[in-house]
């Protein structure tokens, strides 16, 4: 029997439909297989599950900063060739911007009670006002770090002579307070290291000290209570500290930081060897 032209078309259509259904069935057997990016979705395909929620982006500057640190961390160096890690599994606590007549004695007392050594990055002007606190830091067996004369955030970009003069003036104040003290490190305010400032510090016998963990204890967002601030600093340090980390914090004018470390020092001690650098 000869099929009419219209019957041939119907048969052809049925054949196409069967091929299509077979393909669908095969696809349904492998639901976990990732869809080919170029495949067009079938009209009757079930709706694709909603995309996983994406974390809100961090501020661009912060994200950029973290990226720089991450890349540098892989290379073992921070900005300007500065140091990011302790070079061992030990963790180092660093306290900046002091000495502070109210807070520095408190952190020194806590560290002494816990038999922990730390590194103090001192601002020359504060050293000149409170030389007795520099002697207490040295007597406690802690490590000294030059943090410029007046916390100049732009020092690294100034002429070499200005950089040298600032670092020398700060070291002179520290040595006037504690004549035989070794000043092992330099830390640029804000972490604003440049190759020039790192090189000059090296010529003066100081290693450049960046950090791996920054709990932003200096930041006091509007509306954050003291308890919230302390909880944030504690959570950040506990979450971010890993073997070899250098942790940045501030003893100058940061009473909540000192309070946070009453919790943090015992917590860290259980997990890491804490060292002065
Ligand atoms: Zn500072």
Of the residues 96, 97, 166, 214, which is catalytic? 96
Of the residues 151, 166, 250, 256, which is catalytic? 250
- 191 CA → ligand 1 middle, Å: 8
Active-site annotation holds for 250: yes
pLDDT tens digits along 81-126: 899 999 999 999 999 999 999 999 999 999 999 999 999 999 999 9
Q: Give the pLDDT mean for 132-150.
A: 98
For the chain, the structural domain boundaries read 78-275
pTM (predicted TM-score):
0.74
**Protein residues within 5 Å, CB atom, of ion ligand 1:** 96-97, 189
CATH superfamily label, 78-275: Glycoside hydrolase/deacetylase (3.20.20.370)
- What's the rounded Cα separation, in Å, for the pair 258 and 264? 10
pLDDT tens digits along 165-187: 999 999 999 999 999 899 999 99
* Tally of residues, the chain: 277
């Amino acid at each position: 029997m000869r099929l009419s032209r219209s019957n041939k078309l119907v048969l052809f259509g049925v054949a196409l439909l069967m091929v299509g259904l077979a393909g669908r069935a095969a696809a349904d057997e492998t639901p976990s297989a990732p869809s080919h990016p170029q495949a067009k979705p079938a009209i009757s395909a079930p709706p694709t599950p909603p995309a996983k929620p994406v974390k809100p982006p961090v501020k661009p500057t912060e994200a950029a900063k973290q990226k720089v640190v991450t890349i540098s961390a892989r290379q073992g160096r921070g900005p300007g060739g500065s140091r990011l890690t302790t070079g061992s599994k030990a963790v180092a606590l660093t306290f900046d911007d002091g000495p502070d007549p109210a807070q520095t004695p408190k952190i020194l007392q806590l560290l002494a009670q816990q038999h922990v050594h730390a590194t103090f990055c001192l601002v020359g002007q504060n050293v000149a006002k409170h030389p007795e606190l520099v002697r207490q830091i040295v007597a406690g067996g802690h490590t000294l770090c030059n943090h410029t004369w007046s916390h100049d955030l732009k020092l690294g970009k100034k002429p070499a002579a200005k950089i040298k003069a600032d670092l020398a003036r700060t070291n002179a104040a520290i040595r006037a307070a504690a004549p035989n003290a070794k000043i092992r490190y330099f830390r640029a305010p804000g972490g604003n290291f440049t190759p020039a400032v790192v090189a000059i510090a090296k010529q003066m016998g100081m290693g450049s000290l960046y950090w791996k963990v920054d709990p932003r204890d200096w930041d006091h967002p509007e509306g954050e209570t003291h308890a919230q601030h302390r909880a944030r600093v504690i959570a950040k340090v506990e979450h971010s500290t890993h073997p070899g980390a250098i942790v940045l914090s501030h003893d100058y004018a940061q009473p909540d930081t000192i309070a946070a470390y009453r919790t943090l020092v015992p917590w860290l001690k259980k997990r890491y060897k804490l060292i002065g650098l």
